[in-house]
A and B are shown apart, each in its own frame.
Chain A
């Protein structure tokens, strides 16, 4: 049984130019999303190393989401295109290892899409809450 006090831990990697700005817009528009989502600012989605994602799971994250500029809108022209390939392969591999595919997600959120940011984070948090604790990629040493 799931602990009634269970709160998922969610790490969101947001690119500085679009999605982090989208999160700012969600904030200034007062569009709430669960406090379980914590944002890490990266210059571009292509800065997100699969190592960081595994690291988050190791340290106890239950879900990891990466948000970047829409394809074609990357501040650095092509960063999100590379990120998209990397994450496609990584997620497919995690799935292949039997690790719940729903724990990882990529979303393209522009600086103008505060509403989409909030909606995405609400959805993702609900998905993770339904999945419950991450067991398959946990490192017990990192848990209390």
Chain B
């Protein structure tokens, strides 16, 4: 019989206001095996833990039940405290009487009754708990960063700085991501390229960092400290080692009509191309969808002009297998294409553009060489209308948009408005907003400058429709403060469209077994306390893949993720989860049912000798579990018909004891 101590936490009034904690302590004190039962204001506090440790010592407790908040919050805290007192940490169980009782029930009698039942279930389980000891597994001292935008770049640089190897996998031919396409950055108005490209060069020159550009993650196996990742290096038909990035091929290529994705399709590039001048790696790539040689077998101009013989039309995709201790998701975002909003005319009017398109139209390296000209007739626009919140802040039921605020649009629109007014003071600029959100250092000051110094017309209201009439964009909008409906003849309309997680994020999350929210942003292990970690051990989050954020925030989060990775890679060994499957060889049939459902390949079979009847020896095929590889899901335990496979910490009998206790009322 165990000697169990029960501790009921008040959680201030979080629990005690709804649950009669004294009654719970008294009722659970009468349960078989319970030798000590008490309530305390804050069990997780120093003095609460001391109370528990004193009781373990004085009452020679062999098991502990804490009735408190969710075990996802403080199970580890209480287990650690028990361990300090010499009690095996896995002899501690939590009854969740806060999230599952006091916070959702109002009636004290009802809540108290439920708290007692949950306490009983935990006691029933502890009766069957066995001390568990964690095994250890080694750590591969290399990290993988998926995505080479500013988030991935910063994370990689910080990890490399600490002396660990890092690989960056980037699906585009160059690293740099969205920041490379941006003209200027708020609120300081530095040129984005001027602050990003030196970092890109740092990455290229760092001998700890290896860039897999034009590559994608193919599969991920393993677990924290021991990931095995297959990376597909897509054929770029150019030998990366030979190519010097001289660019002659990109000038001579006769196929000139390829939409240039770097300039948001506002101009064209060649079929063989280097996305932009400061690309890293500065290596050409052949776009097989447009290359005449690839399509018809006739051309070969690039091969002829290449002085180093880097062109290889027969190049194939290559799969590279690499091992990592940690993986960082930095998959970034895309601005939504607002084609679903017919009334805003994006699909029908060339002069209705998205904000990222405007960035290219204002960038010195863009299609207009930095002079703001509208796409349709390449004329200078004299009236520019900005529309905020396009596709953001929609109702959850709304199929056209996203329910979240995209966070960066208010600031970059203020930046655009200001830059236009500064460069072209003859241009009238209207910004239609719902709210102007500027919580950030020097952000509101920046927005006020746009209004006060630059005379940008901020109108509280929305644009209802945009219709093109003879090269004029007829904008109909509301001005809610004056109660007027405005009709503006504009030359250019700019839509601040919602930020969307990159499409690749979903499949990557599945490979990483990292969870995502309904908007396809990665979820954090804890929204407040572990914001750069995924709930899946060894997976970290950097940048917009976790939620909308601007560059300074992205960079801080990227460094935070790097710090977490460094903390992991600095360890030589990781303590394994001791709650793993275990095969009872005396019961095992060797039928392989369990092996078929194990996602980790943790189960192996061996012929072993057993004692048969009448002093004979039998040889039977039996399963055994590698505890370093097993992650403790329990799939095998149900596949096993003979009950030979069981899960430590969540055994068949423990779970049934909980069932029994809950149903016995």
Contact = CB atoms under 8 A, between A and B. Distances in A.
Interface string B67-85: 0001110000000000000
4 tightest Cβ-Cβ pairs between the two chains A and B: A27-B99, A47-B634, A59-B663, A76-B633
B546 to A, nearest CB: 13
A49 to B, nearest CB: 5
Nearest to A75: B513
Nearest to A118: B104
A82 B516 CA distance: 21
5 contacts: A21-B72, A23-B100, A74-B513, A76-B599, A110-B518
Given A11-B662, A51-B652, A20 B72 contact: yes
Most buried by B among A47, A51, A56, A110: A47
Given A20-B72, A61-B663, A43 B536 contact: no
A39 B71 CA distance: 13
A38 B662 contact: yes
B522 to A, nearest CB: 11
Interface in A51-94: 51-52, 55-56, 59-61, 69, 72-79, 82, 86
A18 interface: yes
B637 A49 contact: yes
Nearest to A112: B517
Interface string B624-641: 000000011111011100
Interface in B50-103: 70-72, 96, 98-101, 103
Given A26-B104, A46-B635, A47-B647, 11 more contacts: A11-B663, A20-B70, A27-B99, A28-B103, A40-B658, A42-B634, A43-B634, A46-B597, A47-B635, A50-B638, A78-B635
Nearest to A29: B103
Interface of B: 70-72, 96, 98-101, 103-107, 110-111, 113-114, 117-118, 121, 509-510, 513, 515-518, 523, 535-536, 579, 597, 599-600, 631-635, 637-639, 647, 650, 652, 655-656, 658-660, 662-665
Contact of A41 (B71, B113, B600, B637): B71
B515 A35 contact: no
Contact of A55 (B103, B105, B660): B660
B70 A24 contact: yes
Interface in A103-138: 110-113, 118
Given A24-B70, A38-B118, A75-B515, A43 B638 contact: no
Interface of A: 9, 11, 16-18, 20-21, 23-24, 26-28, 30-33, 35, 38-44, 46-52, 55-56, 59-61, 69, 72-79, 82, 86, 110-113, 118, 142
A33 B104 contact: yes
A32 B104 contact: yes
A128 B513 CA distance: 34
Contact of B99 (A18, A28, A56, A74): A28
Contacts of B515: 17-18, 69, 73, 75, 110-111
A113 B103 CA distance: 16
Nearest to A58: B663
Nearest to A110: B515
Most buried by A among B117, B579, B662: B662
Nearest to B513: A77
A69 B513 CA distance: 11
A24 B656 CA distance: 23
B117 A38 contact: yes
B659 A56 contact: yes
Contacts of A77: 513, 599
Nearest to B633: A76
A87 B579 CA distance: 24
Contacts of B635: 44, 46-47, 76, 78-79, 82
A111 B523 contact: yes
B638 A42 contact: no
A79 B631 CA distance: 11
Contacts of B523: 111-112
Contact of B535 (A9, A50, A111): A111
A44 B637 CA distance: 11
B99 A24 contact: yes
Given A38-B117, A79-B633, A48 B579 contact: no
Contact of B579 (A28, A32, A38, A43): A43
Nearest to B511: A77
A76 B639 CA distance: 16
A78 B536 contact: no
B560 to A, nearest CB: 21
A24 B664 contact: no
B634 A59 contact: no
B501 to A, nearest CB: 14
Contacts of B536: 75
A59 to B, nearest CB: 4
Contact of B105 (A11, A32, A56, A79): A32
A63 to B, nearest CB: 11
A59 B659 contact: yes
A59 B664 contact: yes
Given A112-B517, A112-B518, A82 B104 contact: no
Nearest to A33: B104
A24 B96 CA distance: 9
Contact of A23 (B99, B114, B117, B634): B99
B103 A43 contact: no
Contacts of B662: 9, 11, 38, 40, 56, 61
Nearest to A48: B638
B129 to A, nearest CB: 14
Contact of B98 (A27, A40, A112): A27
A9 B117 CA distance: 12
A114 to B, nearest CB: 10
A47 B638 contact: yes
A78 B98 contact: no
Contacts of A59: 659-660, 663-664
Most buried by B among A42, A46, A60, A118: A46
Most buried by B among A31, A55, A86: A55
Contact of B72 (A24, A40, A55, A112): A24
Contacts of B663: 9, 11, 56, 59-61, 142
A57 to B, nearest CB: 9
Nearest to A74: B513
A11 B106 contact: no
Given A33-B104, A35-B113, A47 B637 contact: yes
Nearest to A46: B635
Contacts of B111: 35
A99 B238 CA distance: 66
A5 B617 CA distance: 61
Given A46-B597, A79-B599, A112-B523, A30 B103 contact: yes
A51 to B, nearest CB: 7
Contact of A43 (B647, B652, B659): B647
B659 A11 contact: yes
B544 to A, nearest CB: 18
Contacts of A17: 515, 535
